[in-house]
Structure formats: C-alpha cells, structure tokens
Chains A and B, each alone.
Chain A
C-alpha cells in the first residue's frame, strides 16, 4: 500500500461530502444507523448510534477514495463545491480526476510537473503536513 496515496485519500476524504443517515435494522433485527455519502456511490458504513455511524463513514470514505485513486478513477467533488481544507473547488466540473487534482495542487504548491507522480504525492503530503502544523 502506498503511504503517499493514503495521505492523499485522507485529504480528499476530509472534504465536505453530504452525509445521509438512515435508520436501519441489522440482519439479527437490532436497530442500527447507516450513514452514506450520496456523491460517492456505495460509500457507506453503520453504527449503533448516529455519531458512530458517521465516524465509521468517515473511515469508510478514506478506504473508498483510496480504491478510486488506486484504480486511477475520477474522485467526485463534494456537491457543496467547498472543502474542509479551504481549497477552491473546480467550479466547471462536478468531478475531477486524480491527475487533474495532482496537477492543480502541484501548481499551487510549486511542485514541478517533471517529478514522478509518486514522488509528487509524497512532496504534497509533506506540504500538507506543514500547512496543518501552521
């Protein structure tokens, strides 16, 4: 597993995706809550309480986005067009590819495009850590 890709998945998963919580029933009849992100088809989790379901969904979203990155598939933008990290979203498109995100982020952080992708992800991870620490 790529640590750089995990770091990127965590960052992308921190964006403000819509959350829907459903009251459901487990297979043994126990009442539970299922939380899902409608913008990420199939991304969901469950818990005994609303808070637990949302916390588990936050973990599931990282795994889900990691799998999209791994398969080099577009990562849907949150429909709110805003992000938890304060980055500006691409207003012309509802989805953005990993490569597009990487290009835009690299430009913003002045990481050269001639640097190999994996190295760029690691560099961006370092830049993100530095930003968080500020």
Chain B
C-alpha cells in the first residue's frame, strides 16, 4: 500500500522539479516501499525486492539538485513497471 502523501508529492515532482526538500524525498521513497540506510556521508536508498533500484542522497546538502527529483521519478516509474511485469506473469 503506497501512502497518499508519497503519491501527492510524486505528482507534484512530475509537475515541477523545484522546491522539494529532503523530507519530501524521504516521504516518497519510504511511501513506495524503499528503505533508506545511512552511509558515512550519504544515505543509500534501495528497494528490498528490487535491489537494482538505488539512489544516493547527500546528508551535507539541505537543498538537493533537480537531478535528484528526476532520479526519484525514474526509480518510482521503474518500480511500478517491474511490479506490473510480475503481476502480469502471475496471471
């Protein structure tokens, strides 16, 4: 079950890549089932069922670049596609 907050923020990210804070990224990723693990200087985002879906989030930056928004959208889209493929193969 994906959280409504995650869906709402993701929709907003698709409309505009500006104005998003670190907590928004966390809400989207956690809401879609990703886990965030701390490294030494960066946090690693990964999905427990699809380990190829990964991202890095810097802890030193309060304001993240738009590239991070693009990557988040890309990862969620890939996640949904992979889940869709699995559901289709199960039917």
Contact = CB atoms under 8 A, between A and B. Distances in A.
A41 interface: yes
Interface string B8-24: 00000000001111000
Nearest to A62: B40
B61 A26 contact: yes
B89 interface: no
**Overall SS of chain B's interface:** mixed
Given A24-B65, A27-B19, A67-B39, A45 B58 contact: yes
A83 interface: no
Interface residues of B, number: 30
Interface in B1-59: 18-21, 37, 39-46, 51-56, 58
Interface string A107-126: 00000000000000000000
B20, B39, B63 — most chain A CB neighbours (10 Å): B39
Interface string A14-34: 000000001011111110101
Interface residues of A, number: 28
A91 to B, nearest CB: 24
Nearest to A66: B39
A73 B6 CA distance: 28
Interface of B: 18-21, 37, 39-46, 51-56, 58, 60-61, 63-68, 71, 75
4 closest A-B pairs by beta carbon, nearest first, are A63-B39, A26-B63, A24-B65, A42-B54
